[in-house]
Amino acid sequence: MHDTKPEITISFGPCLPIAAMGLLLSGCVGRQSALAPAGHDAEQISNLFWVMTAGVSIIWALVLGTALAATLGLFKNPTRLTPNILIVGGGVVFPTVILGILLIFGLRLLPNWQSEPDRLQIHVHGEQWWWRVAYRAPDQIEPVISANEIHLPAGQAVEFVLTSADVIHSFWIPSIGGKLDMIPGRTTRLLLEATRPGVYRGVCAEYCGTSHAKMAFAVVVHEPKEFNAWLEDRTSDPNIGTDDPGRKIFLSSGCAACHRIRGLTEIGSVGPDLSHIGSRRTIGAGIAENTPKNLARWITDPAQMKPAVQMPAYRALPPEDIAAIARFLSNLN
């Protein structure tokens, strides 16, 4: 006796295009997409992209349609479309007009570079493989030093001053704008205006060495009021637990030789500033979530997370000391 099982056939055929489309579209949403703009520049680039795509599609259809019609012999009595009209019209007049329109359209997108002294300036210094960040508001005496995370006010143009310490990097926040190269020995400037509050992701867009792919940063766009409060908070020292055991270990183990913590140690500036590191979203320049566990992993062997990184491994420290440092850093905000 045979059991008659219902036969199930699974066909992956129809799924494939859907899956492929899903993959393609997943790139168009979220925190790092030039097609989901959250900034003035990104919006213009996105518009330009769609206009170009539409125009290209129309021209493509026209050219192929004409070719197809000619092949199929639909132009049997070309009384009105003489070859001369086709050649002069399609080969000279049409491209000149279209390219002329595109040129004007493109030139109109160039940023307005009239200097305005009361703009917020953010100095971003690219280094292998992280970002040194300094905020300079017009009325501010000392810049606010930070690293690997950029905060912006929505609806306000911000001037980015871009430099590089070693090789050519490129500064790009796909959702907001850019990209612009950071060239050793030169200063490049970029004017960006974020429009939509949220958290985005910026990257280095120019191959810059072994860990180029691990050189990113979080971008947080605030409502202007919220941003001012944030910047105000950053002009003061972080809360440092005076009897935190990790504080003593941080200082005695030599972390301060490279890293500054406002109000605690000012001698080191080779590595990223760690004042307020507890409030950052990521560690290692956008490569891992900022948790005590990841911090401990990073301190133990940074090169395992970011190959060829400058920071030496602190494997020789007892694990409980590393955990204490990680906890101490997580509380700095």
Partner 1 sequence: MKMSMRHIVIGLGVAAMCGAGVFWLGLINVGASTGHWALTDWLLHTAMRRSVQFRADTLPPEDFASEAMIRRGAAHFETGCAPCHGSPGAPRGAVVRAMTPEPPDLLDQVDQWTAADLFWIVKHGVKFTGMPAWPAPGRDDEVWSMVAFLKFMPSLDAQGYHGLAYGAEKIPNGRQRVLSVTANPALADCVRCHGLDGRGDGNGAFPRLDIQDEAYLHDALQAYAGGHRFSGIMQEATAGLDGETLAILAAYFAQQSVGKPFATAQEPLEAERLQRGKIIAMRGLPDNNVASCAGCHDRTGTQSRSQFPRLSGQYRTYIETQLRLFSTNTKRGGGPFANIMRQSSHALEDADIEAVAAWYAMQTPNP
Residues forming the site for partner 1 (CB under 8 A)? 165, 248, 251-258, 267-270, 310-316
- Identify which of 262, 259, 175 has the alpha carbon closest to the alpha carbon of residue 220: 175
Looking only at the bridges linking them, the beta strands covering 177-182 and 188-193 are: unpaired
Q: Identify each DSSP E strand in the chain by its residue range.
A: 120-127, 130-136, 144-147, 149-153, 157-164, 169-173, 177-182, 188-193, 198-204, 216-222, 282-283, 288-289
The minimum distance between CB 322 and partner 1, in angstroms, equals 13
Taking the least distance from each CB to partner 1, the nearer of 26 and 269 is 269
The minimum distance between CB 261 and partner 1, in angstroms, equals 12
- Specify the amino acid at residue 51: V
The minimum distance between CB 21 and partner 1, in angstroms, equals 46
Taking the least distance from each CB to partner 1, the nearer of 43 and 127 is 127
The minimum distance between CB 155 and partner 1, in angstroms, equals 35
Taking the least distance from each CB to partner 1, the nearer of 88 and 257 is 257
Burial class (CB in 10 A: 0-12, 13-18, 19+), 23: exposed
Report the Cα 333 to chain-centroid distance in Å: 24
Taking the least distance from each CB to partner 1, the nearer of 191 and 303 is 303
Query: Per residue in 28-64, is it b (16+ CB within 10 Å) or e — as a string?
Result: eeebbbbebbbbbbbbebbeeeeeeeeeeeeeeeeee
The minimum distance between CB 190 and partner 1, in angstroms, equals 23
The minimum distance between CB 252 and partner 1, in angstroms, equals 5
The answer to whether the beta carbons of residues 208 and 139 sit under 8 Å apart is no
Q: Can you read off the two tokens belonging to residue 275?
A: 């004042």
Taking the least distance from each CB to partner 1, the nearer of 93 and 270 is 270
The minimum distance between CB 211 and partner 1, in angstroms, equals 15
Taking the least distance from each CB to partner 1, the nearer of 191 and 258 is 258
The answer to whether the beta carbons of residues 291 and 161 sit under 8 Å apart is no
- Identify which of 283, 281, 289 has the alpha carbon closest to the alpha carbon of residue 198: 281
Report how far residue 331's alpha carbon sits from residue 324's, in angstroms, rounded to the nearest whole number. 11
Taking the least distance from each CB to partner 1, the nearer of 213 and 313 is 313
The answer to whether the beta carbons of residues 98 and 137 sit under 8 Å apart is no
Taking the least distance from each CB to partner 1, the nearer of 90 and 268 is 268
The minimum distance between CB 45 and partner 1, in angstroms, equals 35
Looking only at the bridges linking them, the beta strands covering 144-147 and 130-136 are: antiparallel
